[in-house]
Structure 1
Amino acid sequence: MTRTFYTFLLLLLFTCLQTHAQYADSGTGVLKSSVWWFNWRGFTISNGASKTFTTTDGLNVTITFSNVSGPTPIPSQMNTWPGAVLHFLYDFTDPNINPAIYNPPTTQNVAFTMSITATRNGAPAPFTLCAADAEASLKPVENTTLITSGSGWNILEFFRNSHQTGNPVTGCGTQTVVITDTHEPTAVSNALPIGQNPLMATNAPASGILQVEVHMDRMVLGGMAVAFGIFAPIDRGDLPPSYGSPQHRWVYATANQCSYNPPFPTISQSTALKLGNLPGDADPTGNSDDNVIGADEDALTSFPDYTGSGNYSLDVPVTNTTGANAYISGWFDYNRNGSFDAGEGVFATVPPLATNAHLVWTGLPNKLTHGTVRDFGFRFRISSDQTAVSSASGVATDGEVEDYMAHLVVPCDVVTFPTASVDMCEGASLQLQATPGLLSYNWTPATGLSAVNLASPIATPTANVTYTVMATSDDGCQGSTTIAVNVNPLPVITKSADASICTGANVQLSATSSIANTTFSWLPATGLNDPAIANPVATPQTTTTYTVTATAAGGCFTRENVQVQVRSKRVATVNPAANELCEGTSLTLEAAGGDVYQWLAPDNTPLGVNPQLQVTPQLTTTYTVNITDNDCGGTTTLQVPVAVYPLPVITKSADASICAGGNVQLSATSPTANTTFSWLPVAGLDNPAATNPVATPQSTTTYTVTATAGGGCFTQENVQIQVRPKRVAAVKPPFNEICKGASLTLEASGGDAYQWLGPDNTSLGVNPQLPVSPQQTITYTVNITDNDCGGTTTLQVPITVSELNASVTKSNDITCSTGPAVLIATGGTQYQWEPAPGLTDLAASRQTVAPLENTTYRLTVINGACSKKDSVTVTVDLATAISTYPLPNAFTPNNDGRNDCFGLKYWGPVTTLDFNIYNRWGELVFSTHNPMDCWDGHFKGQLQPVGSYVYWITAKTLCGDVTRKGVISLLQ
């Protein structure tokens, strides 16, 4: 039977998850270009874990795991074992792609349930889930069981390269299949992929929701695995990405779906709707040559040239044997901008049995522009989905897409220039600009051109010239045009020489040229009487370089410079001009502003003729310097006073030693008048600016005293204060909690003598350590004496003695008639349960559990320092106490505490529930999915009238599916 291909979601019997998928690039599988594999790398399978994938045709698939049991599978490469057949068919060269959820060799069974939902554009979408053994299973000791909630399992593809003839699939055509015998046990080598591999398929309903239960059971040591993917045979366009991404899904038919001997199952593509003679093939990627796989782009073999008429038409061979109208769109990138714009598409209806579609583009420009690409892109799409083909990209449910890049001969513009002539100056360069983007250029004459085959060469002619360019477009159109280049001569400047003047003087500048009508301008204008004449008078305040510009015909100009140096009268200075020195130090005086210097002592004794003079006076002194400027100045005499101050002498207090918390007075004196004192660091000092501060340091400190006299002259001395710390009395541990009957050693520290006392002051010992084993809560006392800087410290040491009476009980065991069991632990203040099914809060004393098999629950009970381990076992027996799933026939919602609410009792554990109640008019008055809910007779806040109400209940319980329909009477 032929049907539209929705999407195959492939489950291969590996076990692995990750956030994306791709097509296999290795192997010989016939569906290699169609299967979109999930990459589970980095994902961990566990209850509640889920992943969402989006296929290239927009199908969003979410897979959620539950009921996971056995060893946790791990992500793996497709080649989990060299003898597995699947990796021989579908594999990846990239080791980071892990399609396999792999359970390494073990004897334990693995099981899990997958809840799979699929949507497209936010709406539920049907799909087909496929499964195949990806390891190598031996019959009968390794079996993979698949249970689907969808349609019965069928074989999509069957591969065999062995001598096997047996059926590896039990239950084909039903909702439960068992796969085994996929590896030939008599193969020459276990490391060779020799065997048989059926690819199973099951259909999800239109709701897009499917549940698949997977069991990997083994009776020998061995590995098993599962993998997932999307089977998506899609015909794609192959123009560059800027043109958009069109996709057409296959329509296909299947045959021999449960055959395990020739003829094997097959998938055949429908040819009812196509372009040309061949239907679209399955392309693993777009934007590459579509004919790498197959050769389906055969509708057109040539394209007519464009005449410039404004219209362009094509006849496209088509096939439509669907029995209904189909639709075709054609896209022509006539502006060659690398994309299909809104006005570049045309559309037509393809009636049943039509063999040709006539497409006409109208309103085209007479001359097509040269865009970013050389050739013209064409795209043709045919489908029964008119909305899908109305766009150049997107997904269509059937049909085909074909892309072409065609070279057309089209009318073109003759090459042009922005202007017919242009002026330039002698010695300059000019870039000529012909129409860009043409195929070839040829300039004549070549004189003065940087190249003759470019659209925009650089021209440097020495005389007037007319250039001609002949250009040819890539469409074969050729034209020529000319441009005249006029070369104007540059003026030659004769200028005045550079000059030097003193501050306040002036000089006349001049400039001449042999070219008539030359104009002159000078910059900067500062200090000039007229900057626009040939011979201005310059009176600059500082040395200035004047630039004269001579401009002739055509704006051609040259420039020259004239520098006028301004010699200013220098200012005679001495640095520093006035000074203060401390006794015994030196100073360098430096004079400036002259050509000749003479230094004199107070008695006019010559001291030197250099600008610098180093002095070391013992008393306050005034020096004299004569500074002579031989250019624009004279001789200046300056006086330089130097004041000399003595250094103070310090008498300080001696170093000292104190206990922690003590203090000592420091002192410092000097015979020098007006001496001030400062102490550092200031920490611990009552007044760091006093001569005799009191020091209370927290630790040993060296204080530095600075004595400062006139002129800021100072000396420094140090005083060290040693601080002896008081030891800290302590007991470890300071507070204790022990279990009755245990012992403990207390240890005191921080003293020289110790005395331990009981609660009645009985002496217990004089050592730092005291072993104790109290039978009840008690407080000990210890006196700790420090003979140096301390005294006696008394510490109390409380010890709490704890006892423990722990137990754990259960309310019931699990049967079909009894619900969850309540576990209650007592006797402690803290509880630590070991993880087990049904436990949610491992620290709670009360737990409600509903295990599916006999389960022992273990915990540790803690009370203070005491702890005890205990356990309780909840048995599960679903073969006895089978519930009759009773329901009452009446209830009285009168709030008397008896029979006030109609609900489920004695039904045992209920996993899913639909519980609905209707009134006599068919109105739904109560609905719930919670088995703990019941109807109290109210609807929309109002108590309903006495009468009969119909209930309908469907439920899944541990002991099977239950359906109840009946009448309940509401009484007063």
Structure 2
Amino acid sequence: MARLRLIIISGLLLLRISQSFSQDQSCPFNINFSAGDLSAWSAQTGLVNGATRQYPAPNTGVSVISEYSLSTTGIEVITASSTDKFGGFSTIPTINGYAYGYSIKLGSDATSWDLHNDERSPGGFVRSVTYTVNVPAGSSSVPYTMTYAYALVLENGTHNSNQQPVFTATVKSPAGIITCASPSYYLPTLNNAGGGNNQTPTGATLDSAAAIANGFSLSPTLFLSHSGQNNNNGVLLQDVWTKPWTEVTFDLSAYRGQQVVLTFEASNCTPGAHFAYAYIALRNDCSGLQISGYRDACTNTNTVYSIPALANSTYAWTVPSGWTIVSGAGTNIITVTPGITGGIITAQEVNSCADLRSSITVTTSPPTVAGNVTGDNTVCAGDNSTALMLSGETGNILKWVSSTDGVNWSGIDNTTHQYTALDLGATTQYRAVVQNGSGCRVDTSAAAIVTVDPRSNGGALDPANFSVCATQTQNNFITLNGSVGQVQNWQYSYDNSSWNNLSPVNTNTQYNAGAVNQTTYYRTLVKSGLCPADTSTVSRVQYINVPFPAAAITPDAASICYGTSTPVNVTITSGTNYSWSNTGTLANTGNGVVTSLPYAVNATATPQQNTDYILSVTNAGCPNTLLDTFRVSVTQPIVVFAGNDTSIVAGQPLQLNATVSDPLANQYSWTPAIGLSNTDIANPVASLLSQAGRTITYTVKATTAEGCFGQDDIKVVVFTTAPDIFVPSAFTPNGDGLNDMLRPIGVGISQLNYFRIYNRWGQLVFSSSDLKKGWDGAINGRVQSTATYVYIAQGIDYTGKVINKKGSVTLIH
């Protein structure tokens, strides 16, 4: 009897298992937009709380629908992924290893401004897609799940939360909306928007902390907003927030055999000036909760496992023994550190209308070890071959890669341990790309380097052909250009056939042929790394058996003061003719013909600036010219300013101050020494009490260490009066250079406070506080006719006493 009971129980278990597997778990046709269009979906566009336009199912072949009353796309099926301009995420998601393949974009960045409607708030755009799901009949204990992923782009409208741009997902059964599967997503505010005059409230403060906690972030991309009155030109704002792809699931097993309506909707803000759009992708798997993540995990390497989120759900996970949940234990996404052995991962999510469970079997692999590529080599460019070997790796070889700059790498379709690099033209690094199982990271091995020496190129010698006269050691240099590699040595030949190496070895790119005594050929031997050596082109040095010109200039250079001269003495010991450059400042140069040897030229140079005088000497029969340079450095004129001529009263100290254009002219000498505190400085003080009633002229001389100098005079008139301001009684502004200007003369005056001139009506016609300035007899540019004027003046003498002066002056014209 006990045995019979066991058989019956087993049969019942088999029957239950058979029933669960016989139920239809397939997803509805084109639920994931795999047809590339809206087949089986219905759609709607319109304005919030306004007119709508219906697109009833089946919509076969329809993949794009415009915004209401606009040509802008409002609904679009996406079959090729791109990047969203605000969020930077892919428009078709891959989430934790699951690739969706298709998605739909619901909405755009169009706003009510694009309608160009006279109404301030015609209402925001709204777009939706709807699918009527016929849930397969069967036991409600067997899950029938639908999973979607969404990504959002919402502009902050600064409205109260219930009027912000929004994305909603609604699941409706015959009994009404299934609230636990019908979330909405928007940017929350503090609901403190102000409003009035029947206008939509604005200015609400965004609850950014809540937005960030809900997965939103502020986009760095600016948007041209036209919100507000009379904002036709728009203003660039950073007010768009985005949320990356997030998965959601819901269970319809409680509605088996019934119809459930699924709707996704994206709505602009209620007045319409702020936009919203969303991307939605659906899985084509309705058989229950699915755990995403690596089935073959990497030991001791953090790994992520996830399940689609369930609204207002609690989550529970278990992991194999030896594994550790690092984070996310109470969420739908966990990060774990796998142990050495595999096992089973389970997940459970529960809310008010679903209790979903899933499990997967996982194995483990040790972490990837990329190993080392060996076979470093040095080869010559062109025809070459290097065998490379990967060793010490743990994992599968995915490919090899190579790079000539260490930055940009090219893939090589080779999954074996060996690779042969052929015919390289540039130094190249090689690595192998290794991964130990899908859960371990991909790594690259240490590199082997094949150093490629460029092929040797002997280059060209310059000049290719030139002449050398007897005893010539000047201008005999040969230069190597355009070579590739290092110079091994220079070679010479007397017949351009049999070549000899220079001794000692010369590895420079320039060679001085020196004084040859017969026609000689030269070339270089150049070698690049391991490449065979190459020879340069040949340079022919033709010997001319005529002496090269010879001459000497003494001294070889000179430095002079401005306005002085220097001798230029030349002795020519070989040559028949000579010439000079810059002859305009050179005297006694001779006629250019050498009449006997040795031949002397005694010229004189008087340049006004630094000058090179080049002597050219030729010798009949020798085609080459001797060039020698005599450089004259000229100290520029030294300008000395002793100061303006001045007047003082007897007993008044006079501060002198000489200025010099050349700071090296710092040796001073004042003459005469009468009354001076020091004659060897730039700024002595003159005390001229003994010179009362006289005029004295001082001369200051400033000299450089080389003896170059400049000098200047200053005339000092010493009055016997007390300090005073003198004004002439008349002046004649007729342009003859005599008495044309009326100015005060300050004797013993250190500061002029003012000098003012008035006409007979008391009008001010001139005013100055500068002793050097005066009146030219003109008012507003017109010279006045003969008349009498009144002046007043005030100054401070050298003792600090205020001096006042007034009187009359006659303008004679």
Q: Same fold (TM over 0.5)?
A: no
Normalising by structure 1, we get a TM-score of 0.27
Normalising by structure 2, we get a TM-score of 0.31
Q: Which has the higher contact order (CA 8 A, sep 6+)?
A: 2
